[in-house]
Amino acid sequence: MDENEDEKNAAEVHVSNMRIKKYEEYRDSSESDWILGNFIRELEASALSEIPPHFKHPTMVGPILPVNVLQRTSTKEDTCLHWLNAQKPKSVLYVSLGSVATVKKDQLQELALGLGAAGLATLWVVREDLTGEKGTSLSEGFLQRTQERIRIVSWSPQLLVLSHGAVGGFLTHCGWNSIIEALSMGVPLLAWPQLGDQYMNAEVSVTKWGAGLKLNNFEKKLVRRKHN
C-alpha cells in the first residue's frame, strides 16, 4: 500500500469517527431542554432560524472567550508577549494552524520561505508535531536569517496575542474558536483551512462576513511560497 493510499484510509477513518461523534451529539442535543451555542447572534441569526423545531430553546450565547487564559503567566507567555511589545502597532502577522492539523515537510518549508520573503514581523506557532513527526524541520539557516523579524514558538496564549495592539493579521486554519477569538478582537483573517468544518468556516467568514481574505486555490496539495 503506497503513501497516498495510507493517507486516504486514515482520512476515511477520521471522517467516519467524526460522523459517529456528530450523530451522538445530535441525538443528545435533541433530548435536551436547552441548547447553548458559542455563536454570535448578529452574525448567525439566519442559521438560528434554520434549526429544526424538535431542538428546544436554541440560544446563542457567544462569543465565549476563555477568561482563564488571561490569568496565565508562564515563561513562554512572557517571552512571546514581550516580543510583541517591541513591535509597531498592527505590524505583526500571527500564524497558527491549530493544535490538530499537520502539514507535510515540503509545505512547512514553502510556508517558511514565503513568510521570510514577505518582510513582515511574524509570530509563528510551530508545534513540534506540526509535520506529524518530532521536530520542526526548519533549517538553522532560515532560523538565523529571520530571527530578528520572525518569532517562532511552539505554543502561544492565543487570546492574549490576538488582543495585543501589535497584531494586525491572523493566518489561520479557521478553527471555530480561532475565528471567534479573532472576530472578538477585531483582527482580520487570512484563511487557510486544513480539514473538516474549517472549509465552511473560512467561506462564511470571508465571503459572508467580510472578516478577511482567503488563500486562492488552497485545495492544492502544495501551497507555494509566492501564493496569491
Where exactly are the structural domains of the chain? 3-60, 67-214
Q: What is the pLDDT of residue 146?
A: 81
Q: What is the pLDDT of residue 202?
A: 92
Is 148 in contact with 154 (CB distance < 8 Å)? no
CATH fold for the domain made of 67-214 = Rossmann fold (3.40.50)
Q: pLDDT by residue (tens digit) across 16-74?
A: 555 556 556 666 666 778 878 777 878 877 777 777 777 777 788 878 777 665 555 44
Q: What is the pLDDT of residue 8?
A: 45
Q: What is the pLDDT of residue 225?
A: 64
Q: What is the pLDDT of residue 11?
A: 47
Backbone angles phi, psi at 94, to 5 degrees: -95, 130
Q: What is the pLDDT of residue 221?
A: 66
Least confident range of 13-27, 112-126, 171-185: 13-27
Quote the CA–CA distance of 213 and 171 in Å, as a whole number: 10
Q: Residue 126's CB: how many other CB atoms inside 10 A?
A: 20
Q: What is the pLDDT of residue 120?
A: 92
Is 51 in contact with 44 (CB distance < 8 Å)? no
Q: Residue 86's CB: how many other CB atoms inside 10 A?
A: 9
Q: pLDDT by residue (tens digit) across 196-207?
A: 889 999 999 999
Instruction: Reply yes or no on whether the pLDDT at 75 is more than 50.
Output: no
Q: Residue 133's CB: how many other CB atoms inside 10 A?
A: 11
Quote the CA–CA distance of 220 and 217 in Å, as a whole number: 6
Quote the CA–CA distance of 143 and 113 in Å, as a whole number: 11
Instruction: Reply yes or no on whether the pLDDT at 3 is more than 70.
Output: no
* Mean pLDDT taken over the chain: 79
Q: What is the pLDDT of residue 192?
A: 92
| Residue 102 three-state SS | coil
Instruction: Reply yes or no on whether the pLDDT at 77 is more than 80.
Output: no
Q: What is the pLDDT of residue 69?
A: 56
Question: Residue written as cell 459572508?
Answer: 208
Which among 191, 227, 228, 189 has a CA at the least distance from the CA of 211? 189
